[in-house]
Structure 1
Amino acid sequence: MFPLGDFHFEEPSTRHEIISSWLETVERENGYIIFLGDLFDIAFFEDISAQQEVGLPLTSAVKTMAKFLDRYKDRIVAVVEGNHDQRIRKRVGLDLLGVLCEERGIPYARGQAGIIIRLGKGRNQKAVSYSFAITHGFGGGRTKGAKAQMRFWIASVWEQIDAVLVGHIHEPAIDMWTRLEIDPRNEVIRTREILLISVPGALGYAEYAQKKSYPPPSYRLPALTLSGREKHIEVSLI
């Protein structure tokens, strides 16, 4: 399974060849996708220069995104709205990304969403279950610590999850958080591991990032392999 996000489709610095390489990986590995928002960029309406400098007109971006969703709809587990996707909804009342997903029967959420995936057969001959919390994310994330804090705080409001998947900060990263859980039925205390995962964005070294002295982006893709025999997630950056 591959969490993806932050394509910023019409932004001038977007590296469409990177997006293509990610999707080629998904197809090669016969994987599934969770989209974490900001598939569109949606330049600020009052920013004339931003409107003039778009890399791809919004109409063209919508048509391209529609074809893209048509192609991958059977691989897409869910989509969440990003803050850039939200711009057009706030200004004109149109949830563009939501409409595109709804027309194709793709699960869509504006805030946070919980996902349960069941597969295979475990030792008890029942399917192995995994639970995920997904959302776009928030904050500026200039420092590594700020980005880690964002992943942590999102995880802190959820119980009984195996992983948190977020976008927004354009950083591929994998953290681990462990918590103690009381099992009242068996009267034992167990340790639960929670993966905190954020994904890269497709922007190049954009002008705003250079002006704020953000580091150049990494495009390594988080890949999650879910075992169908026992509860185990293998995760790596590829």
Structure 2
Amino acid sequence: MLIKPISIKINADKAYLIPIGDVHLGSKNSDLKKLLGYVEWVRNTKYSYVFLMGDIFDVATRESESSPFEQEMGINEAMNTMTNIIKPIRKKIIGCISGNHERRLRKYAGLDLLETWCRTNNITYCEDSCVISFDIRSINYVFFAHHTMGGGQTIGGKLNRVAKLVTVFSGADCYLGGHNHSKALGEDAIYYYNHSTGKVDSKRIMYVDCGSFYAYDNSYAEAAALPPSHTGAPRIRMSGTKKDLHISF
């Protein structure tokens, strides 16, 4: 985690954050057509930003569920391909965290693939988790992002892993998780003491599963009878006129 959060200040009525993860580039199941559509939307939309949620690369090994012999491209080609894909929006990518697929190389060879790729593309690399702060005019929004780990096949089970991030970092308006390839949204309301007013106020907290760009057909997920899910990512709109997060899929 970066001790100093990524901080973005914008003077606008609204801004967007698109958390993109689980692309699994290298796999034949990577939905590049869908990904390119998101890149085009970000390129054409003012005050839109991307945060990369990990598992950008598939990194298949002989011990993994996906086979290296069934990959569409090797790691070097995948890195070059991703560089070309994000080129139109590179300056709009505010940061990146690692996923369990990239950790395979960290475990076996001590190489942090995403750190190398981010350095090449001048993208802030946060390793395992990241705090992101947006100031849209005078309104502040705080996000906490982690790829997450573990199983869970129901929507509730998957979203629970994102909700548990509140025990890692306190005070975020929205918690972002990846890994499970689902798009889902949950929210809580909490009460807190407001030092400025001396009153007890309430705050809304949102939990977001950030989807994937990994197609289901003929994948290891299908072979394991895991539930299918649609590809894509959430779009998070932050208002600059009142404290309001709107999340759409």
**Shift in Å, 1:192:** 0.8
**Shift in Å, 1:35:** 0.8
TM-score (norm 2): 0.86
Q: For each residue in 1:79-135, what CA deviation from the matched residue of structure 2 results, as whole angstroms up to 9, or x when unmatched? A: 000110111122112112112212333211122111111122xxxxxx321111011
> Structure 1 CA distance, aligned partners of 2:182 and 2:63?
29
Q: Where do 1:190-205 residues align within 5 Å?
A: 190-205=201-216
Please list every run of 5 or more consecutive structure 2 residues that lacks an aligned counterpart in the other structure.
1-16
> Structure 2 CA distance, aligned partners of 1:48 and 1:191?
44
Q: Do structure 1's residue 44 and structure 2's residue 55 form an aligned pair? A: no
Match of 1:34 among 51, 70, 78: 51
**Shift in Å, 1:171:** 0.5
Matched positions, count = 231
> Structure 1 CA distance, aligned partners of 2:175 and 2:202?
17
SS at match of 2:175: strand
Determine if contact 2:66/2:220 at 8 Å carries over to the other structure: no
Q: For each residue in 1:28-60, what CA deviation from the matched residue of structure 2 results, as whole angstroms up to 9, or x when unmatched? A: 333210110000010124569812110112221
> Structure 1 CA distance, aligned partners of 2:230 and 2:160?
19
> Structure 2 CA distance, aligned partners of 1:162 and 1:142?
26
Q: Do structure 1's residue 6 and structure 2's residue 17 form an aligned pair? A: no
> Structure 2 CA distance, aligned partners of 1:33 and 1:57?
25
Q: For each residue in 1:193-223, what CA deviation from the matched residue of structure 2 results, as whole angstroms up to 9, or x when unmatched? A: 1110111111111432223322222124311
* Residue type at the aligned position of 1:133: F
**Shift in Å, 1:69:** 4.2
Q: Do structure 1's residue 150 and structure 2's residue 173 form an aligned pair? A: no
Q: Where do 1:33-182 residues align within 5 Å?
A: 33-46=50-63, 50-120=67-137, 127-182=138-193
Residue of structure 2 equivalent to 1:124: none
* Residue type at the aligned position of 2:215: G
The higher-RCO structure (CA 8 Å, 6+ apart) is 2
Please list every run of 5 or more consecutive structure 1 residues that lacks an aligned counterpart in the other structure.
121-126
Determine if contact 1:155/1:196 at 8 Å carries over to the other structure: no
Moved over 3 A (4+): 45-49, 68-71
Question: Aligned residues: percent identity?
Answer: 26
TM-score (norm 1): 0.89
